[in-house]
Amino acid sequence: MSNLLPNDAKKEIWSMYRARFIVAGSLMALIAAALCVLALLPSYLALRADGAGNSAPTTASKAATEADRAAIASLRAVLTSLSPLVAATTTPTAAIGKALSLRPATISIDHVTYTGGDSGTIMLVGSAATREAINGYRQALAADPYFKTVSIPVGDLAGAPGARFSLSLSGDF
């Protein structure tokens, strides 16, 4: 099958269609822009009308301002009380991590309690398979220079296998 139009006529027709598509696309973009402007016009007018007529603050805005000031004062009081915790040079997290890293596989730690102060105290509560495992864990902690004192109640060392224990660590943390 052959083409019925010569190349010059074909180019002329395609340029006419291209011009129509460009004009139609431009008109669609202009209509979309006009609709956007019409959609935003009420909010623009509301902002202009609200700001132009009310130059004096209302009682509701004064109450909101007082409430904001009270909230800011409360927040400052909380920040003042928490500032020693934020400014601490050492955290108990490193000490707890060190104590747990020295733990053998036969010991299970169930509960960790930290008490701060000049000489912080960490209490490790758990269970062990044997008394020897508890004593070995105590010796490993006592050999570490990070902990000043390591103490365990004698009753925990004399208990039956699989017994529970509590280990107290103190140091500068």
Residue 58 has what pLDDT?
59
Based on the domain organization, do 97 and 159 belong to the same domain? Answer: yes
Number of structural domains the chain divides into: 2
Evaluate whether 133 touches 149 at the Cβ level (below 8 Å): no
Q: Kindly report the CATH number assigned to the domain that includes residue 146.
A: 3.30.1360.100
- Looking at per-residue confidence, does 106 or 25 come out higher? 25
How far is 75 from 1, CA to CA, in rounded Å?
85
This model's pTM is above 0.75: no
Query: Quick one: which of 115, 159, 152 has its CA closest to 137?
Result: 152
Task: State phi, psi for 122 to the nearest 5 degrees.
Answer: -120, 130
Q: Is residue 17 part of a domain?
A: yes
Amino acid at 102: L
Residue 35 has what pLDDT?
97
Q: Is residue 54 part of a domain?
A: no
What range defines the domain where residue 14 resides? 9-37
Residue range 53-108, pLDDT digits in tens: 555 555 656 667 888 888 888 888 888 877 766 655 566 888 888 888 888 888 88
If phi > 0 it is left, if psi is from -120 to 50 it is alpha, else beta; for residue 126 that is beta
How far is 108 from 129, CA to CA, in rounded Å?
9
